[in-house]
Chains A and B, each alone.
Chain A
Amino acid sequence: MAVDVRLDELSAWFGNHQAFADITFTVPERHVTAIIGPSGCGKSTLLRCINRMHEVVPRARHGGSVYLGREEIYGAHVDPVSVRRRVGMVFQRPNPFPTMSIYDNVAAGIKLNGVRHRKGELDGLVESSLQSAGLWNEVRNRLKKAAGDLSGGQQQRLCIAGAIAVEPQVLLMDAPASALDPQSTLRIEDLMAELKQQYTIVIVTHNMQQAARVADWTAFMTVLEEGEPGRLVEFDRTETIFTNPGNERTQAYVTGRFG
């Protein structure tokens, strides 16, 4: 069950340093939304606020609200652990558990959470997750091998399989292809197009062509003046952002004249 994600006056700090300020927009369900902007504008931090991973960092805090559907994830009685089960995340650098097998990496979210399951059920789930991540055919004969032996692109798809195995409502991707070669990048992009049938996807990317290729909606963030927190400049359909942006800063950025 995919849901939309609504950010309301969201801000985030590391100690006294404010990463971004007052960001409000709504990520539509079952679409790919890209967050673009120059380095240091707070886009990765913004992403980490959506599954409450931001608060894992010492001295990190936030202001404002994030709604998953109708539920405020920073509500007084909401457990961050339950938020993270509903909002999956794929990191910039592929981070499979190196000592676990391929199979166990996919099943990690279920096994580590101590969810009871029947053997056959788990097998089926691992297979379908790997299939959704486009990795099944490459690893079906070596599920018990260590995940560390896979290539970078395969590892990243393995991480995607692990993230969707817990059946989240939203999938966050923090520059998931930036550490990969062009061919693997293309595979991940194709994958996003398929996964958005089922999941709400938010992707951070440094690559504007990638945003233009995969995203239905695009948010452009930037730092207006040195030392200032990052701000949302424009949020619109990707087509509009790249062909007819409403703000001249957006125009300058997407045409490569700045950032």
Chain B
Amino acid sequence: MSGVSGRRRVADRVASVWMLGSVLCALVPLAFILGYVAYKGAGLISWTFLSQSEPFSFTERGGGFWNGIKGTLKLITVATLVSAPVGILAAVYLSEYGRGRFATAVRFVTDVMTGVPSIFVGVFIYSLIVLETGHFSAWSGALALAVLMLPIVTRGAEEVLKLVPRELREASLALGVPHWRTVFRIVLPTAASGLVTALMLAVARAAGETAPLLFTSFGNRFVTGWTDFNQPDSALPLLIFRDARSAYSTAQERAWAGALVLIALVLVLTIAARFIATRRSVRTV
């Protein structure tokens, strides 16, 4: 274009290269991590690894992480069932009703909670539940994860609810629909897919947490029942943590494979949840 001066063309070029470079800087470590985990872990992935518990010795080959996979699924299911309703309703309060000092205080506390080191949450649940009941248990681990997820769900959901256009709320209110009903029938369904994204961010965070499980869920060599939350239970991060520190290459290999399974698990859950949410968000009253 002859009308554009040379300086502007150069500036445009520089800006484009800068942005592309930044994108690459952000993507390269991510691709490297995923690629390396896949490279190190893929070799051991098999039906045996996904369906059997670990062997009794670090040095033994074979066996798998089924106890950890099942444990992680159990823990995040319960943690989500606890944190999702509380977090989303807290977000509804903040975005729809929250005014004045109390709402500001709730927001502040939620932000502070997001920054609380996860090991501290573990200690908190440990002293509150494990010491009281006298034993480690899956449900104390699930509760620790729920506490971690709660502020992430709350603030994420609040941002999503704020994105629902005011016109939509007003359209409903002007029809003589009460505010609470407008929230449940219009605002929440409209925000459904965004809410699921916020929830899955929290799930992804919780699924990878190790510290809060160290002295709550503790770990378990045996596979526990789906509804058994009284025993200590294993979790993928716990197994990865322990086996990665092991001196034996057999255990280290299992840790890599476990890491790959954990990443895949979070990915599959996120995609599945998005799929369901987008299908459901286009629907009738």
Contact = CB atoms under 8 A, between A and B. Distances in A.
Interface of A: 51, 53, 56, 58, 81-86, 88-89, 91, 93, 95-101, 104, 107-109, 111-114, 146, 159, 162-163, 166
A83 B175 CA distance: 10
Given A58-B99, A111-B285, A112-B285, A97 B177 contact: no
A248 to B, nearest CB: 37
Contacts of A100: 284-285
Given A58-B99, A91-B167, A104 B284 contact: yes
B173 A84 contact: yes
A56 B170 contact: yes
B174 A53 contact: yes
A112 B185 contact: yes
Given A91-B170, A91-B171, A97-B171, A109 B177 contact: yes
Interface of B: 99, 167-178, 181-182, 185-186, 189-190, 281-285
Contact of A56 (B168, B173, B189, B282): B173
Given A97-B168, A113-B181, 4 more contacts: A91-B167, A104-B284, A146-B282, A159-B171
A157 to B, nearest CB: 15
Given A104-B285, A111-B285, A88 B174 contact: yes
Contacts of B99: 58
A83 B174 CA distance: 9
A78 to B, nearest CB: 13
B174 A112 contact: no
Given A99-B189, A104-B285, A112 B175 contact: yes
5 closest residue pairs by CB, A with B: A85-B176, A109-B175, A84-B176, A89-B174, A95-B167
Given A112-B181, A112-B185, A166 B175 contact: yes
B176 A108 contact: no
A108 B174 contact: no
From B169, B171, B176, residue with most partner A Cβ within 10 Å: B176
A82 B177 CA distance: 9
Given A95-B170, A112-B186, A84 B175 contact: yes
17 contacts: A53-B173, A53-B174, A56-B169, A56-B170, A81-B176, A84-B175, A99-B190, A104-B284, A104-B285, A109-B175, A109-B176, A111-B285, A112-B182, A112-B185, A112-B186, A159-B171, A163-B175
Contact of A95 (B168, B185, B284): B168
A204 to B, nearest CB: 14
A96 B174 CA distance: 12
A129 to B, nearest CB: 12
B124 to A, nearest CB: 36
A53 B285 CA distance: 23
From A86, A96, A107, A112, residue with most partner B Cβ within 10 Å: A112
Contact of A53 (B170, B181, B189, B283): B170
Contacts of A89: 174
A146 B190 CA distance: 14
A86 B176 CA distance: 8
A42 B50 CA distance: 67
Contacts of A159: 171
Contacts of A83: 176
Nearest to A146: B282
Nearest to B185: A112
Contacts of A95: 167-168, 170-171
B174 A81 contact: no
Contacts of A85: 175-176
Nearest to A96: B171
Contacts of B182: 112
A56 B177 CA distance: 13
A98 B189 CA distance: 11
B167 A93 contact: yes
Nearest to A103: B284
Contact of B178 (A81, A98, A162): A81
From B171, B177, B189, residue with most partner A Cβ within 10 Å: B171
A166 B282 CA distance: 24
